[in-house]
Homo-oligomer: A and B are copies of this chain.
Amino acid sequence: MERVPAAPGTSPGPSALPSPALDLTLDAARLTARLVDVPSVSGGEKELADAIETALRALPHLRVDRHGNNVVARTALGRAERVVLAGHIDTVPIADNVPSRLVDGELWGCGTSDMKAGVAVQLRIAATVPAPNRDLTFVFYDNEEVEADRNGLGHLARDRPDWLAGDFAVLLEPSDGQVEGGCQGTLRVKLRTAGQRAHSARSWRGENAVHAAAPILARLAAYEPRRPVIDGLEFREGLNAVGITGGVAGNVIPDECTVTVNYRYAPDRTEAEALEHVREVFAHCPVDELVVDDSSGPAMPGLSHPAAAAFLAAVGGEARPKFGWTDVSRFSALGVPAVNYGPGDPNLAHRRDERVAAAAVLRCEERLRAWLTS
């Protein structure tokens, strides 16, 4: 899921019991249950990272590396292409929904959908496909559900970019078993108008900064967002005020008004181009100051790459664009096209009633195996 503000920490303390070994001969649905039963709220991933590392080190066809609580395992078969399968191992805080429960074919519990089902699929592929048709890199990372600067994939990209090298990446975030290509970028700027304070009974002595924002809002209301087609996917942009604030007191002409604008843009634009576009949009408005509040680049879907085309053919369905920002952008920044593809339902993520259909987990495992062994 997209990153969210840090939640009040409920990271479990060190377990008194020895960590149970992960049995990778279980099917992906059963393995999901085992993963859910090892709590790994953001910041408390060590026990689960240890278990994953131990299980992977038992597989002779993989080289295993670790950086903090991030574990990376790779084949080295000299194949023409390398594919990265990535997933975060942390969850949002537990909400009375651990241990997991299997009810009528659905596995309930914290992290079932987002995204221990995806992690289970990664582990099953690692264990059961010793001679894939493409070299494989498995990335298990921490702290995805909290502030961006704690994100384990970000730390790997910064400190060990070579571990993430590849021709194509699949992020197993919940996407309801559909391929979601790339992601849109997001830019947030604050547009400030300035005026002059005065008592509102003598308003002609001042200059109203809220009135000065009128053309900014008019421009936003009239804006026609692009819908560019990239790699066969129709993206859909948006330029919106997400906040406005101005005013000093009920009897004072405001000397300042700030409109916070969020531009969601398709991956054919860079972060710099997105900012340039926003500057152009408001070029004729009385903006006293434009400050960048937040900027995260987009990711190309990469569906024109042969590995991606084969992937799409193997997993079936119709690829769709990812409108929200996700960690695929970190791969894109490293030059690795990436898609989201995972068994969970994104609408159930972060909920007390989070769950995943066992059949969806098995189907995802089967489709990835078919792609990597055909």
User: Which A residues are closer than 8 A to B by beta carbons?
Assistant: 2, 184, 186, 188, 199-204, 208, 210-215, 217-218, 220-221, 225, 236, 238, 240-254, 257, 259-260, 262, 264, 293-294, 323-325
Closest to A220 in B: B211
Q: Which residue of B lies closest to A263 (CB)?
A: B200
Q: A214-B221, A217-B213 are in contact. Are A254 and B250 (CB under 8 A)?
A: no
Sampled A-B contacts (9; CB under 8 Å)? A200-B264, A202-B324, A208-B240, A242-B251, A243-B247, A244-B254, A244-B257, A250-B262, A250-B294
A201-B325, A213-B217, A250-B260 given; 6 more Cβ-contact pairs under 8 Å = A200-B262, A201-B238, A201-B264, A210-B242, A243-B250, A245-B247
Which of B2, B225, B244, B293 is within 8 Å of A244, CB to CB?
B244
Chain B residues, Cβ within 8 Å of A204 = 236, 238
Cβ A241 vs Cβ B236 within 8 A: no
**A240, A259, A323 pick with most chain B CB within 10 angstroms:** A240
Q: Are B262 and A247 in contact (CB under 8 A)?
A: no
A186 B325 Cβ-Cβ under 8 A: no
Contact B250 A293 (CB under 8 A): yes
Q: A242-B254, A244-B257 are in contact. Are A184 and B208 (CB under 8 A)?
A: no
**In whole angstroms, how far apart are the Cα atoms of A265 and B203 in the complex?**
12
Q: Which residues of B contact A325 (CB under 8 A)?
A: 201
Q: How far is the CB of A176 from chain B (nearest CB, A)?
A: 15
In contact, A246 and B244 (Cβ under 8 angstroms): yes
Residue pair A201, B186 in contact (C-beta under 8 Å): yes
Cα distance A80–B265 when bound, in Å? 79
Specify which chain B residues have a CB less than 8 angstroms from the CB of A208 in the assembled complex.
220-221, 240-241
B211→A240 contact, CB < 8 A: yes
Q: Which of A188, A199, A238 has the most CB of B within 10 A?
A: A238
Q: B188, A250: Cβ atoms under 8 Å?
A: yes
Task: Give the distance in Å from the alpha carbon of A325 to the alpha carbon of B236 in the complex.
Answer: 52
Residues of B within 8 A of A324 (CB): 199, 201-202
Which chain B positions have C-beta within 8 A of A188?
A: 250
Structural contact, A246 and B243, CB atoms closer than 8 A: yes
Asked if A210 and B243 make an inter-chain contact with CB atoms under 8 angstroms apart, the answer reads: yes
Task: Name the B residues within 8 Å of A238 (CB-CB).
Answer: 200-204
Chain B CB count within 10 A is highest, among A220, A251, A259, for A251
Q: How far is the CA of A323 from the CA of B200 in the complex (A)?
A: 9
Nearest Cβ distance between residue A30 and chain B, in whole angstroms?
34
Q: Which residues of B contact A248 (CB under 8 A)?
A: 242-243
Q: Name the distance in Å between A315's Cβ and chain B's nearest Cβ.
A: 24
> Among the listed B186, B200, B257, B262, which residue makes an inter-chain contact with A240, where contact means beta carbons less than 8 Å apart?
B200
Does the CB pair B200–A211 fall under 8 Å? no
A297 CB to closest chain B CB (Å) equals: 14
- Cα A294 to Cα B323 in complex, Å, equals 44
A242 in contact with B247 (CB, 8 Å): yes
Contact (Cβ within 8 A) A249 B254: no
Residues A201 and B323 in contact, CB atoms below 8 Å apart: yes
List B contacts of A259 (CB < 8 A): 210
Closest B residue to A236 by beta carbon equals B204
Q: A214-B214, A217-B217 known; A253 and B242 CB under 8 Å?
A: yes
- CB pair A240–B260 under 8 Å, yes or no, is no
The residue on B at minimum CB distance from A213 is B217
Q: Taking the nearest CB of chain B, how far is it from the CB of A310, in angstroms?
A: 29
